[in-house]
Structure 1
Amino acid sequence: MSQTKPVTVGISLGSSYSRVSISSIIPTSPSSFACNSSVLSNDLGDRYTPMVVCEEDGGFVVGSAALKATMRSKASSSNKGSVLPSSSILNNLNSNESDAFFAHLRDLAANASGLGLKSTDRLRVVLSVPDSTSEAKISEIVKAVGSGFGKPSTILGVISESSAICCAHGLTGSHDSKTPDANTNWKTGVVLKWGTSGLTSTVVKRNGMSGAVSVVSTSSTTDCGGEMFVDKMMDHCASQFKRKSGCDVWDSKKAVAKLRLAAETAVRTLARGTSASVEADGLMEGMDLRVAVSKPRWGMLAGSIVAKGKTAMEECLAKAGGKVDCVLISGAVLDSPLAQEAVKEVFGEDVYRGATGMAVDEVISVGCSLHCAMLVEAEQKGTTSLTATVKTVKDVSLGIAKISGGAIEGEVLPVITPGSMVGVEITGTLGGIVKGGEVAVVNIGAGNSIVAKVGDCEEGNITVGLKLGEEGGLVVRVGDEIEMQC
């Protein structure tokens, strides 16, 4: 690796866990490149870090160590509730705790890349956040991560989880995909993110002209989240323990904390194995917990939760017009054969499933690091063409319209509506355009507009594309050639 080249890092900030990836760029021709990405392991060998920090002995401990300490001393007042605070870091930004957490991720990336802690200024980062994150919260997160990394300019951008998933599978047309057909053989796709907090379903379409991906709709449900699978396992084990010992686990916060750790481990084991044993030494009153759970038994226990996710996927398929060519999955729940079978039942077995060999619970951080590598490559080549940025827009509504005699003619065609996801590149098509004419990009809410001239194009239809630029500004593309920064 060059001694001056930045190290490109992707960080997935989920609802309960974070993951860190590093990407490297491999030139494939004078005009194109491919990216390789690897997910980093911490000192414990885990490829994820619980988003928990707690103070201990005058300092801070992070991740799994903090989680265990938190469970011992600050268990939830509701015994049956999760003892892992959902988005605990994201709810306590720009604090000593968040600085410690993001500094931990910085050091993890610096050490894994060979930079060492004295050269962390060479790190460049792209973050992903849950799709429901507001613009105000995104700004807070960027500031907090920049503070933890010690240099705000380290953060190159923030993308949504669905955009990161598309990027990881090579669907943005921004780099050479691991699977050559990824950018050519699909038109309508669905991105599923099924993790701790619930299931998010995003319908995307491929722009046949540029290969860019546009977000059509996004919907989320929280009634089938990963925590519910753990709760179901805890309920089963607690009832078995009470039947054998007469002790009610829910009467002891410490016992609940130990049971949750054991249940989480068992749920992960059942994602890849045929059985699991939920074990906790000295769970309560000196008695040990040992509960064997077979895969068929687990299917019966978790079936009602999977059914709720299946219903959400069926609603997503209806929004996509009843047929899709591509389904991409992410999130720890989708590591389970139960959930994967539900995906096949809803969308079919013949749809394109993206690049092979990618862990579903790591794909978001991989996509972030790949996007970061693209940004750095674009910066070094002197181009600002960024085609994989997605942000949540709450108060912007944009449309396109024809211009005649210096004024807007006819109705404005909405392209971005309030609260919608701004995709990799969102497009709209206007008819009746004459050569040398003009189109307007209209901020519908504010009433103002930006005018772009149509160049040497064929008369008839013209496609106008909108995308977010490197600094968050809007880039307007008219036809195949004209781009203007707004």
Structure 2
Amino acid sequence: MTTAYGIHLGNNSACLASFTNGAASVIANDAGDRVTPAIVALNGSEWEIGLTAKSGNALSKVIIKHNKRLMNCDYNEEDLTYVETSSSCRIQNEDKLSYEFETSETTQYSNPDNIATKIYAKLFTIASHSMRSEGDLKLVLAAPLHWSNESRDRLVKSAELAGFEVLQVISEPAAALLAYNVEESEEDINVLVYRLGGSSCDVSILKVSGGFISVEKSIFRSDLGGQCLTKDLAHYIAKEVKQKWKLDPEESKRAMAKLMHHSDNCKHVLSTLSSAHVFIESLMDGVDWSQNISRARFENIISAKISAYIEPAQKLIESFDGKISKIVLCGGSMKIPKLQSAVANLLPEAEVLSGINPDEVIAMGCAKEAGMLLDIPEVNLHDVSAEVEFLGKDIYLKYLDQTVQIFKEGTPPFAQNTCSIDAGKDIKDISFSLLDSPEGDEFAKETFNVESLSKPFTLKATLQHSNILLQVE
């Protein structure tokens, strides 16, 4: 028995979802959390992944954060600096990029692909434990829209080394639409997908037409992310500490590491509750810190940055001519109500889709795509396709004395079209010819015996990679 899985691996967190019984659902990790930190640490000679890497004494182990940035083949010096500053290891970039881990026992080296494999291996273990029976773990991954095929291939190889069988790589905005079944819309609509993660932001406008998704416009920003808001909250608490105890946590790397950790937790609590309690044991010079922070206070702290976060979406909307009917919010930082309302106010008449936890949306969409791929007959599941090969011309169907268009140019593989055929009662056999123009030569022909079928009967056409499958029923 095969099970369909979807994974979204981000810079800060990873989410695993499965598709069973016609629905996608998130699988919790061994700590009961639905999202796993995308953090890897070397503690002595032991590797820690996820929550164990994030928690505990951060100064006693070597930590890597934001590894996904360096999985992109087109990374730049800004990405290198960001990852090295966030992590506690050196990055060598001479012949090949590698991390250098210095411990009391030895010095080890690793590269971004190996670190990604360790995170996928953690998710593979979680997926394996969730299975009721043994079977292959078939997977669909999501990659940023601006990534090249080579970058996507690196994600695939890392997941396969961890034990998964990768069916396909789809873009993150497309996965977000799939999670909400937007592709099933009967009308042609435009959708704004706003994703705000821990260290990056991208905004896309996608067109949905007849079940097909196409990207109209997109903006990517690597300087915007929820981490900026966490820092603002940490600096606010540091000022409160300084005012009361005359101690400055900003002068201590250890104190600020603790403040960032607790501020991040506080930020997530305030996304759902009206207040959060922060207690930090031995923050600095043996002083414990205890403080209640209300959502209103947090929103006041981040209010100055709201305009910067909505600027990419505002710019994209202003440059787009069509009407945008829906907004999809995704990314862990979009759980913040203040940011949700700010984006929604840009398009007051658009429907905001936020029923799924924003940091689970993309994984849910990937799981749904995996489920659809496994449900389609005659699909080569060993063929990993990072890019979809769209139909290069219109296709017409000719039968009896009629010619109709069944597929438009730009249609993706596995699209289906049905025609109601009203044939006479005395007709036993009907031939269907496929043409590339209304008056063109036929390139395929198939004859069906329709004598036993009820009239009118249905012809179903399925666009495959190398042919068009015709079925009557």
Q: Answer whether contact 1:94 1:147 (CA < 8 A) is retained.
A: no
Q: Answer whether contact 1:8 1:373 (CA < 8 A) is retained.
A: yes
Q: Name the SS for the 2:183 alignment partner.
A: coil
Q: What are the within-5 Å matches in structure 2 for residues 196-215 of structure 1?
A: 196-207=198-209, 210-215=210-215
Separation (CA, whole Å) in 2 of partners of 1:260 and 1:93: 24
Separation (CA, whole Å) in 2 of partners of 1:330 and 1:478: 40
- Which of 409, 412, 418 is 1:464 aligned to? 409
Once the two structures are TM-superposed, the CA of residue 130 in structure 1 deviates from its matched residue by 2.7
Aligned to 2:128: 110
1:248-296 deviation per Cα after TM superposition (whole angstroms, max 9, x unaligned): 2122222122111100011111111212233211111100122332222
Aligned to 1:230: 230
- Summarize the Cα distance change of 1:13–1:214 in structure 2 as closer, same or farther, 3 Å threshold: same
Q: Answer whether contact 1:237 1:278 (CA < 8 A) is retained.
A: no
- Summarize the Cα distance change of 1:22–1:331 in structure 2 as closer, same or farther, 3 Å threshold: same
- Which of 54, 59, 62 is 2:46 aligned to? 59
Q: Answer whether contact 1:75 1:253 (CA < 8 A) is retained.
A: no
Aligned to 2:106: none
Q: Name the SS for the 2:345 alignment partner.
A: helix
- Summarize the Cα distance change of 1:18–1:134 in structure 2 as closer, same or farther, 3 Å threshold: same
Separation (CA, whole Å) in 2 of partners of 1:128 and 1:462: 27
Separation (CA, whole Å) in 2 of partners of 1:462 and 1:370: 24
RMSD, aligned CA: 3.5
- Which has the higher Rg, Structure 1 or Structure 2? 2
Once the two structures are TM-superposed, the CA of residue 131 in structure 1 deviates from its matched residue by 2.7
- Which of 166, 171, 178 is 1:155 aligned to? 166
- Summarize the Cα distance change of 1:360–1:75 in structure 2 as closer, same or farther, 3 Å threshold: closer
Q: Answer whether contact 1:23 1:373 (CA < 8 A) is retained.
A: yes
Aligned to 1:294: 294
Aligned to 1:407: none
Aligned to 2:35: 48
Matched, 1:8 2:10: no
Once the two structures are TM-superposed, the CA of residue 185 in structure 1 deviates from its matched residue by 4.7
1:147-202 deviation per Cα after TM superposition (whole angstroms, max 9, x unaligned): 011x6xx11111111011011111223xxxxxxxxx12551111111111232111
Aligned to 2:105: none
- Summarize the Cα distance change of 1:365–1:484 in structure 2 as closer, same or farther, 3 Å threshold: closer
Aligned pairs, how many? Answer: 385
Q: What are the within-5 Å matches in structure 2 for residues 353-372 of structure 1?
A: 353-354=352-353, 357-372=355-370
1:34-80 deviation per Cα after TM superposition (whole angstroms, max 9, x unaligned): x21111111222111111222336432210111235722347999x9
Q: Name the SS for the 1:272 alignment partner.
A: coil
Q: What are the within-5 Å matches in structure 2 for residues 130-279 of structure 1?
A: 130-149=144-163, 154-173=165-184, 183-185=185-187, 187-207=189-209, 210-279=210-279
AA in 2 matched with 1:307: S
- Summarize the Cα distance change of 1:42–1:270 in structure 2 as closer, same or farther, 3 Å threshold: same
Q: Name the SS for the 1:271 alignment partner.
A: coil
Aligned to 2:16: 20
AA in 2 matched with 1:464: E
- Summarize the Cα distance change of 1:114–1:55 in structure 2 as closer, same or farther, 3 Å threshold: farther
Aligned to 2:139: 125
Separation (CA, whole Å) in 2 of partners of 1:390 and 1:291: 51
Deviation larger for 310-319 or 63-72:
63-72
Once the two structures are TM-superposed, the CA of residue 463 in structure 1 deviates from its matched residue by 3.6
Separation (CA, whole Å) in 2 of partners of 1:98 and 1:461: 43
AA in 2 matched with 1:190: L
1:197-253 deviation per Cα after TM superposition (whole angstroms, max 9, x unaligned): 23211111122xx32121111112234311111011011111111122222212222
Give unmatched runs, 5+ long, in structure 2. Answer: 65-80, 92-97, 100-109, 416-434, 438-459, 467-473
Give unmatched runs, 5+ long, in structure 1. Answer: 26-34, 174-182, 393-421, 428-440, 442-450, 471-476
Separation (CA, whole Å) in 1 of partners of 2:291 and 2:330: 29
Matched, 1:92 2:120: no
- Summarize the Cα distance change of 1:390–1:351 in structure 2 as closer, same or farther, 3 Å threshold: farther
Aligned to 1:330: 330
- Summarize the Cα distance change of 1:101–1:483 in structure 2 as closer, same or farther, 3 Å threshold: closer
Q: What percentage of residue pairs aligned between the two structures are identical?
A: 22
Q: Answer whether contact 1:281 1:287 (CA < 8 A) is retained.
A: yes
AA in 2 matched with 1:17: S
Once the two structures are TM-superposed, the CA of residue 309 in structure 1 deviates from its matched residue by 1.6
Q: Answer whether contact 1:279 1:291 (CA < 8 A) is retained.
A: yes
1:357-389 deviation per Cα after TM superposition (whole angstroms, max 9, x unaligned): 3112211111111110111111xx22579xxx9
Aligned to 1:343: 343
TM-score (norm 2): 0.72
AA in 2 matched with 1:41: A
Q: Name the SS for the 2:182 alignment partner.
A: coil
AA in 1 matched with 2:172: E
Separation (CA, whole Å) in 2 of partners of 1:128 and 1:274: 33
Q: Name the SS for the 2:412 alignment partner.
A: strand
Q: Name the SS for the 2:31 alignment partner.
A: coil
- Summarize the Cα distance change of 1:299–1:69 in structure 2 as closer, same or farther, 3 Å threshold: closer
- Summarize the Cα distance change of 1:6–1:84 in structure 2 as closer, same or farther, 3 Å threshold: farther
Q: Name the SS for the 1:325 alignment partner.
A: strand
Separation (CA, whole Å) in 2 of partners of 1:466 and 1:342: 35
Once the two structures are TM-superposed, the CA of residue 469 in structure 1 deviates from its matched residue by 7.8
Q: Name the SS for the 1:44 alignment partner.
A: coil
AA in 2 matched with 1:111: H
Q: Answer whether contact 1:198 1:222 (CA < 8 A) is retained.
A: yes
Separation (CA, whole Å) in 1 of partners of 2:119 and 2:406: 51
Separation (CA, whole Å) in 2 of partners of 1:364 and 1:358: 10
Q: Name the SS for the 2:175 alignment partner.
A: helix
AA in 2 matched with 1:368: C
